[in-house]
Chain A
């Protein structure tokens, strides 16, 4: 009797999972990543501390003193603003990887106002001008790629990335022009600082948190309730549908990116006007990339994203403390731990969307269709998008798959001919395998 190899691992799509179950999987993944980092760090640290001291340091770094708590809140607010700016673009499936550059150019515009006008005009007027300049600069920085995306379908992710570096070198240029001492550093400017609520870190943090709350509320309502928000998600789902519905796709792309860039510019305004009072080439703090992770992990929902931003800043600030407590000199350790957590987090999505079945009996007789009954769990609400229920012979399966493919993609037209041409070539050069591999 001829025997057919069944794949060991078989993957199907799940029904939507209840919320608590999904949350459990995600928390589990993050916890595993944290425990792995804790084991490595406590085992290899120059200064020996226990395994649990890792978590102690993590919390003390984030919440240890009042100042640390306010700093955590401030960084969270800034990161959340960047992430919200990016979400608006991501909803449209526009990969805005230029958050760093848009923040930085906002910083630069703000610093220019402070440098040239600070002290000469009255402070409130300069502050207003700083706000306008930053927001406009950020918007311009995002609109340039958007225009080319809208009209020529230029690759937006690389375009925005290059804009990051252009912003970076522009900042370097202006610092070199303003302070030609060769150090590339700029001292904090005294004039035209944004007002604070009282003294101390709390006073500096509160306006930023307030701005973040306003931005969050605005983006939430914009995406959820406004007509613009609907157009954004429609363009993201299908450009052709949007065009058919009478939406001016080009206009939507440019308008959305202007909003996205303007929000990043606002962050630049806050960073220079309220936090640092000067500009440096690394002032963006890589928030553009971290913001992407916040948006992605927060499922593009502004409220979940606030939690994720808090968690990521908790880790970053906590890791700084871990660094000192465990005797490391390099702050890049926190990037490693945060990167590890990202890996686990995005990896665990798989187990929420898909279900994995193991076929431990590797081969089954071809004549006896006993594939489906016993070794696969028959979950009640489970959805088998799957055609092997009765286990037809493998060759027929392949044939069926081919036919389906053709049906699915429609008849092979002149414009779709490239892939199929190549595949046909591949058919002729390759003998069909009599087995079916899975993953």
Chain B
């Protein structure tokens, strides 16, 4: 049970990154269906960063983790910037652009990891799994003494805590600061926000790119924080995680603080299949659980239809100032 809860939190953190990134993007009025691809890009960038910093004999753990995060954010942010340029400046359809981002990001990641970072190569694979085990899954020493409390709450790698910290920061920024207020105003009605003098384009670009960068850490968190970095079809799983993260945004009613709990629930649902002892062919039926629950959540939230659970009013619409 403790192991299950601990794994649920670890897997939930991946959802949390994707979900918080998407919330930030959607608050600016942009429905980014490219999150799966962007999370893949994060995995690609993170693995590159880790490979570069683990070249030497005894790599510095802090440096490796920071460099992995930095590269993940740069790669994911780059694809986010492409999405932002297309949807904000060129005013393309957001759904279509997002899907292209997903197709491109998944393809790029598969190619990049296998042919450029060469994760199948023996030395690279051993370096990556070494970094994954010792740095990305590093625990605070001596937590075994605390029993179940330590296993569930303290026995995680640095990325899991980073996810929670980022979620809290985004929640505070959106709810309590002027910047967050401006951003929410843009998401609700960009024309009014523009009239007030808020730099709509600037805010949209910033929100989309930062959101993408946060989601990108999620990809790294899966490839090195959950698996050990040498899965050659990592983009398939990350795409599934990405779609579920977008659904999670609806579940959490666009609130990063709620997302912390919600993502752990989804994490538990996602890994549930490997903790229930049934015949192997029923495993694939158990893997349906998170998708079924997501559908239920979508239906229930739409039936309730409360004002609080509605998306930002101009979500998915391009803003052209001179249109009337």
Chain A interface (Cβ within 8 Å of chain B)?
11-13, 95, 97, 148, 152-155, 157-159, 161-163, 165-166, 169-170, 172-173, 176-177, 180, 182, 286, 289-290, 292-293, 296, 328-330, 332-336, 338-340, 342-343, 346-347, 349-350, 353-354, 385-386, 398, 401-402, 404-405, 408-409, 418-420, 422-423, 425-427, 429-433, 437-439
Asked whether A401 and B104 contact (CB < 8 A) given A162-B295, A166-B288, A343-B82, the answer is no
- In the bound complex, do residue B199 and residue A437 qualify as a contact, i.e. CB atoms below 8 Å apart? yes
The contact of A296 among B96, B197, B323, by CB within 8 Å, is B96
| Contact residues in A for B282 (Cβ distance below 8 Å) | 173
The contact of A332 among B90, B107, B283, by CB within 8 Å, is B107
| Contact residues in A for B86 (Cβ distance below 8 Å) | 343, 346-347
Task: Scan B242-257; emit 1 where CB is below 8 A from any A CB, else 0.
Answer: 0100110010000000
The smallest beta-carbon distance between A34 and chain B, in angstroms, is: 15
- In the bound complex, do residue B107 and residue A176 qualify as a contact, i.e. CB atoms below 8 Å apart? no
Asked whether A152 and B292 contact (CB < 8 A) given A159-B298, A332-B110, the answer is no
The smallest beta-carbon distance between A28 and chain B, in angstroms, is: 15
Interface assignment of B54: CB less than 8 Å from any CB of chain A: no
Task: Scan B295-324; emit 1 where CB is below 8 A from any A CB, else 0.
Answer: 100110011010100000110000011111
Q: How many residues of B contact A (CB 8 A)?
A: 74
The smallest beta-carbon distance between A245 and chain B, in angstroms, is: 25
Question: Which one of B3-11, B121-129, B182-190, B219-227 contacts A?
Answer: B182-190
Asked whether A432 and B178 contact (CB < 8 A) given A161-B243, A438-B321, the answer is no
Please report the C-alpha to C-alpha distance between residue A398 and residue B107 in the assembled complex, in whole angstroms: 45
Please report the C-alpha to C-alpha distance between residue A148 and residue B243 in the assembled complex, in whole angstroms: 19
| Contact residues in A for B196 (Cβ distance below 8 Å) | 423, 426-427, 430, 432
Label chain A's interface by main secondary structure. helix
Nearest-neighbor residue (CB-CB) of B294 within chain A: A162
| Contact residues in A for B89 (Cβ distance below 8 Å) | 350, 439
The contact of B33 among A157, A404, A439, by CB within 8 Å, is A157
Question: What 6 pairs across the A-B complex have the smallest Cβ distances?
Answer: A335-B107, A339-B104, A419-B188, A176-B281, A332-B110, A419-B189
The smallest beta-carbon distance between A429 and chain B, in angstroms, is: 5
Please report the C-alpha to C-alpha distance between residue A354 and residue B91 in the assembled complex, in whole angstroms: 10
- In the bound complex, do residue A429 and residue B181 qualify as a contact, i.e. CB atoms below 8 Å apart? yes
Other CB < 8 Å A-B pairs besides A155-B302, A158-B243, A172-B284, 20 of them? A155-B298, A158-B294, A166-B288, A173-B285, A176-B280, A180-B281, A292-B99, A328-B115, A329-B114, A329-B115, A332-B111, A332-B114, A335-B110, A340-B104, A342-B104, A349-B92, A350-B90, A419-B188, A419-B313, A425-B185
Interface assignment of B103: CB less than 8 Å from any CB of chain A: yes
Chain B, 248-290, CB within 8 A of any chain A CB: 250, 280-285, 287-288
- In the bound complex, do residue A162 and residue B93 qualify as a contact, i.e. CB atoms below 8 Å apart? no
- In the bound complex, do residue A334 and residue B188 qualify as a contact, i.e. CB atoms below 8 Å apart? no
| Contact residues in B for A420 (Cβ distance below 8 Å) | 189, 192
Please report the C-alpha to C-alpha distance between residue A293 and residue B93 in the assembled complex, in whole angstroms: 11
Nearest-neighbor residue (CB-CB) of A407 within chain B: B324
- In the bound complex, do residue A153 and residue B302 qualify as a contact, i.e. CB atoms below 8 Å apart? yes
The smallest beta-carbon distance between A211 and chain B, in angstroms, is: 26
Nearest-neighbor residue (CB-CB) of A296 within chain B: B96
- In the bound complex, do residue A166 and residue B197 qualify as a contact, i.e. CB atoms below 8 Å apart? no
| Contact residues in A for B133 (Cβ distance below 8 Å) | none
- In the bound complex, do residue B95 and residue A346 qualify as a contact, i.e. CB atoms below 8 Å apart? no
Please report the C-alpha to C-alpha distance between residue A350 and residue B100 in the assembled complex, in whole angstroms: 16
Please report the C-alpha to C-alpha distance between residue A153 and residue B303 in the assembled complex, in whole angstroms: 8
Task: Scan B150-184; emit 1 where CB is below 8 A from any A CB, else 0.
Answer: 00000000000000000000000000001001101
Nearest-neighbor residue (CB-CB) of B86 within chain A: A347
| Contact residues in B for A398 (Cβ distance below 8 Å) | 195, 197
Asked whether A152 and B197 contact (CB < 8 A) given A173-B281, A180-B281, A333-B111, the answer is no
